[in-house]
Structure 1
Amino acid sequence: MGLANTGPLDFTRGGVAMQAPEEVPGGVGEPVPPAETATEAPTEAPAAGAPPTEAAEAPAETLSTAIAESRVDVRALTRVLFERMAELPPGTPEHERVRAALIEVNLPLVRYAAARFRGRNEPMEDVVQVGTIGLINAIDRFDIDRGVQFPTYALPTILGEIKRYFRDNVRTMHVPRRLQELWVQVSGAMEELTVTHGRQPKVPEIAASLRIPEEDVRACLDAGRAYNATSLEAQQEHDGGLALLDRLGYEDSALTHVEHRDMVRHLLVQLPDRERQIVMLRFFGNLTQSQISTELGMSQMHVSRLLARIFARLRSGNHWES
């Protein structure tokens, strides 16, 4: 997501003059989390007739140059820009320039929030773009008169926009809302336990830490990273080019008959050759009694009697039958 090129913002124009401090607490390279508070130094305007300051004597610096050199107090500059934007009519070119400057100054806050989602297999550029939308919404809604620092107000809005993006646009598989919310707690507990124990925590440890059933933790781990569905025919690079379909097992329908086959084989070897041949032709060759009689040169009635006698002998020798 690119910002509109509204031109460089001059620090000495439009009442936005301020001298950049030498040291930058919570500078652009390191956004300070909203949990930390910083005391903002008031900007003192030079008295009438006073000699010009170094900032006034020096050539006008652009905003991007000052940010790149990390010589800007981001929180103080943000407050000055909000005060200036409040004085300008919405929709004017100057108002848009100040608004664009606010977005550019606070982009590190977006990167700070996006860094929490590095393990989601989603390009960070896309996450930063979505977070920038949340930053713009926060800028448009922020009221400087409430006395709240802008990072404290903006960070929940940025995080909410990113989470909504993952919930509505990234997942190709539907995951219940309860598991999505639980995943946030589970992932946080995993990070804390990893630091505490120096290893990846086990499911019982995570469940005990959050005081939830182990089944919920397992379901959450299965669903937490289920963002994309992979084709069964797609080749996996880390598995030597094998597709998922080649690695999936299946239940053999003949598995339940293994014991019966072994028992029948044990009994058949005990039969005389002619009786064994009749059984093979009847049950393995699928021949009728009439066909067997023609094959062996005997009457059908004789074949029927032999089969009845064979069955009786097999049943008597079946010691496995309960």
Structure 2
Amino acid sequence: MDAPRRTDRTGGQPLDAARVDDLLAEYRRTGDRRARDAVVEGHMALARFTVRRFARNNVGLEEDLHQVALMAVVFAAERYRPGKGASFPTFARRTIDGELKRYLRDRSWIVRPPRTRQEHYLRLCRAREEMPHRLGRSPTINEIADELELSVDQVVEAMETQGARRPTSMEPTREPDDTVSVRPELMSWDRGYGAFESHDDLLRAIDSLDRRQRQALHLRFIDELSQPEIAERLGVSQSYVSRIIRGALAQLRDTMDAQSVPTDRPAGAARTPSPVEPAGAQRGEQTLRPTGTSGPDVSDRRRSA
């Protein structure tokens, strides 16, 4: 792509090298900023052309770089001396390149990575632009590593560095159907609320049991006694203890299921198991022993609290 043609905004004629030298000489002699501004305006297209090469279709970054490039043209007009080396367009292009690189290195990082990784990232960006033209396709990581004379790990680190310059927004985004989408990283379901509600439901359900049922559950799940030990403690048979426990668990489950579902829990969401409800309660199993300390009946502790 050829560099854009420079025009003199003041007269509408092409701004050639001689005209640039005359305007800058006039500015040095008289201090008239209109002469300098004419040179700057005549090279605004050059600034835009250079910015597009650095911005790489990043609209937000392109606006910032355009301001930096325009200031670089002003700096070039202030420092340029006719007849002492390169022409003004060449001098201005190098000044713009230097200012843009300095801005990208020092000012454009939200989280500033090490200098070496920044340089690898800038080289990676250039390789991503140039290599597809030569290969006719997108290059692989191994090909990029060979091109830049870096290891594959260094290329991967350079790719990851891009997130430090423009991190993804955490703000909710509005979808085409006018719904709000929240990033998955910000979504979570606090099970503590469900556990608290299930525990409160359990305490209410325990009140519906008779004293023998509560005593049998306490001996089984708090004192962790076996069914033969419970039978001996209550003076009944082991099979009767088993029926008491199964009946009590079934009654607890039916009572808790009959209670209303909290409004902040999604419909159809599984209820969080209570601290003293066994995982196999629906199958009549007593395999999960809850945490707790031994003491009086659960409902009695609730009343005393």
Give identity over the alignment, percent: 26
Query: How many residues are aligned here?
Result: 207
| Other-structure match for 2:232 | 298
CA deviations over 1:242-283 (Å, ceiling 9, x no partner): 322268899xxxxxxxxxxxxxxxxxxxxxxxxxxxxxx79x
Q: Could you say what the CA RMSD is over the residues aligned between the two structures, in angstroms?
A: 3.7
Shift of 1:133: 0.8
| Other-structure match for 2:28 | 86
Q: 2:91 aligns with which of 143, 147, 153?
A: 153
Is it true that 1:64 corresponds to 2:9 in the alignment? Answer: yes
2:174 and 2:168 map into 1 onto residues whose CA distance is 10
1:225 and 1:195 map into 2 onto residues whose CA distance is 26
User: TM-score by structure 1 length?
Assistant: 0.54
Is it true that 1:242 corresponds to 2:177 in the alignment? Answer: no
1:136 and 1:185 map into 2 onto residues whose CA distance is 28
CA deviations over 1:104-126 (Å, ceiling 9, x no partner): 11112211211112333425333
Shift of 1:186: 1.3
After TM superposition, list the pairs within 5 Å mapping 1:1-322 onto structure 2.
Answer: 27-28=5-6, 63-64=8-9, 66-67=11-12, 71-88=13-30, 90=31, 95-116=32-53, 117-122=55-60, 124-224=62-162, 226-232=164-170, 234-235=172-173, 237=175, 241-245=180-184, 286-290=221-225, 296-299=230-233
User: TM-score by structure 2 length?
Assistant: 0.57
Shift of 1:290: 4.7
Equivalent AA in structure 1 for residue 135 of structure 2: H
2:14 and 2:47 map into 1 onto residues whose CA distance is 18
Equivalent AA in structure 2 for residue 107 of structure 1: M
Aligned CA distance change for structure 1 residues 100 and 291 (closer, same or farther; 3 Å): same
Equivalent AA in structure 2 for residue 75 of structure 1: A
CA deviations over 1:78-120 (Å, ceiling 9, x no partner): 12212322332x3xxxx21111111111112211211112333
Shift of 1:286: 3.8
CA contact (8 A) 2:4 2:45 kept: no
- SS class of match (2:172): coil
1:86 and 1:231 map into 2 onto residues whose CA distance is 48
CA deviations over 1:134-193 (Å, ceiling 9, x no partner): 111111111113132112212122122223333333321222211111122112222222
CA contact (8 A) 1:107 1:132 kept: yes
Shift of 1:211: 1.6
Aligned CA distance change for structure 1 residues 292 and 229 (closer, same or farther; 3 Å): farther
Shift of 1:200: 1.4
Aligned CA distance change for structure 1 residues 234 and 132 (closer, same or farther; 3 Å): same
- SS class of match (2:6): coil
